[in-house]
Structure 1
Amino acid sequence: MSRFDTATAQPRADGPVLFIARTIGEILAPWVVLVLFAFAIGLRATDYRIGPALLWAAVLAVFSALLPMVFIVRGARAGKWDGHHVRDRAGRTVPLLVCFASAAAGLLVLILGGAPRAMILAAIAMVLTLAVVFPITLRWKISMHAAVSAGAVAMLAFVYSPYALFGLLVVALICWSRVVVRHHTPAQVCAGAVLGFVIALGVFLVGQQSLIGGQ
């Protein structure tokens, strides 16, 4: 059952509500969403050729999600920051820089390897999102959960079908969970969702001519 914390003006939950919110935050964490997204867009970008789809999806997933997550988890275990979600805004500087460097390296691998343009545009969107999120985070803890999930929905809607926009319901659920566990304010999750969606959609709109034919 939810209560209201007058000291922080944030929802406070306990019991099953808090458990559900925490579970959503874990199973739909940015790295999980990025891995699933990588394989989904990989299939579409390669015209559903399983071999190439797995190859390019693996590159995108490793550099955008898995390598950064390994770094963050190892740092959390070493006590460098307060857990794998890095709740403290000040502690997010190094993890975000590592995420940016890894995503940029992945983008370079995709370009040099001749990956489908949809995959390259997806990587560009991720790099740009991190580039915008970083300076904001120096002053205000915008939600990466919201930015990543909303960006993924925008890109899937562009390459698959507008029906993918129903995925925004999942984004709303993720945003709710981050507020309930008091890792973010409503403004921070809303800002993250809008930022991620707009950047991702903008990148694909600019590159839409290159996406014709999936190559």
Structure 2
Amino acid sequence: MRAPRERPAGARLARLLTEVLAPGVLVTALPLVAAARVSRSPAHLLLWGGTALLFCAVVPVGVILHGVRRGRLTDRHVGDHRQRARPLSIGLASVAVGLLLLAALRAPAELFAVIVVIFVVGAACTLVNHWWKLSIHAAVAGATVAVLALLFGPVAQLGWPLVAAVGWSRVRLRDHTWPQVLAGTALGAPLAAGVFLALT
């Protein structure tokens, strides 16, 4: 029996970037980073960060993984854009619940704004993906760097090469075209920056 051919190094790197910088990873990390930035005590970090993590990452990602296990979704990146509406809509509903709880818990404006950014960018991606396969990887990566730059200043601008790397990985793996990647970045980054600035 012939052994399977190894993937070229470029394809392995693309797969690594796609997994490490996936939307689920970034929407898990961003609220925690923001909560750590604005929390006044470990208790606040646990309360605000835990709430954001549960409703912005754990529930939405769990819905996708459940769909994959049940065979309703092709993969955890939901490569078939026709399958994206339901998990994205459930994810948005979860984020909306998280926003209400954070408001009740009097979370700082910066953290609240980050969660609104996640909701708005997610809603925009859901709308576009109803008709066209926009790159959610690129949209979320661009939004993440835009928000980090506003939270931490110019040093966070060093994240833009990673956004480009994510875009390259999606094209290299043939999950998206360059127009889909560029459109995702062009949607996510300015939308995230505008929403964040409007709320802080």
What is the CA-CA distance between 1:85 and the residue it aligns to?
A: 0.8
The one-letter code matched in structure 2 to 1:98 is I
- C-alpha distance in 2 between matches for 1:54 and 1:177: 34
- C-alpha distance in 2 between matches for 1:115 and 1:83: 34
What is the CA-CA distance between 1:145 and the residue it aligns to?
A: 1.0
- C-alpha distance in 2 between matches for 1:59 and 1:148: 20
The one-letter code matched in structure 2 to 1:154 is A
What is the CA-CA distance between 1:29 and the residue it aligns to?
A: 1.0
> Deviation string for 1:21-72 (max 9, x for gaps)?
111111111111122212211121225x333123212211221111111110
2:180 equivalent to 1:200: no
Residue of 70, 95, 98 corresponding to 1:78: 70
1:212 is matched with none
Following superposition, which runs of at least 4 residues in structure 1 exceed 2 angstroms of deviation? none
Residue of 120, 130, 137 corresponding to 2:122: 130
1:43 is matched with 36
- C-alpha distance in 1 between matches for 2:185 and 2:38: 24
Residue of 108, 113, 122 corresponding to 1:121: 113
1:174 is matched with 166
2:146 equivalent to 1:154: yes
> Deviation string for 1:164-203 (max 9, x for gaps)?
0111111111111111111111111111112111111001
1:213 is matched with none
> Deviation string for 1:139-184 (max 9, x for gaps)?
1111111111111111111121122011111111111111111111
2:3 is matched with none
- Aligned alpha-carbon RMSD (Å): 1.3
The one-letter code matched in structure 2 to 1:189 is V
Count of residues paired in the alignment: 194
TM-score, structure 2 normalization: 0.92
> Deviation string for 1:65-111 (max 9, x for gaps)?
11111110111111101011110010111111111111111111111
- C-alpha distance in 1 between matches for 2:81 and 2:130: 7
- C-alpha distance in 2 between matches for 1:50 and 1:35: 18
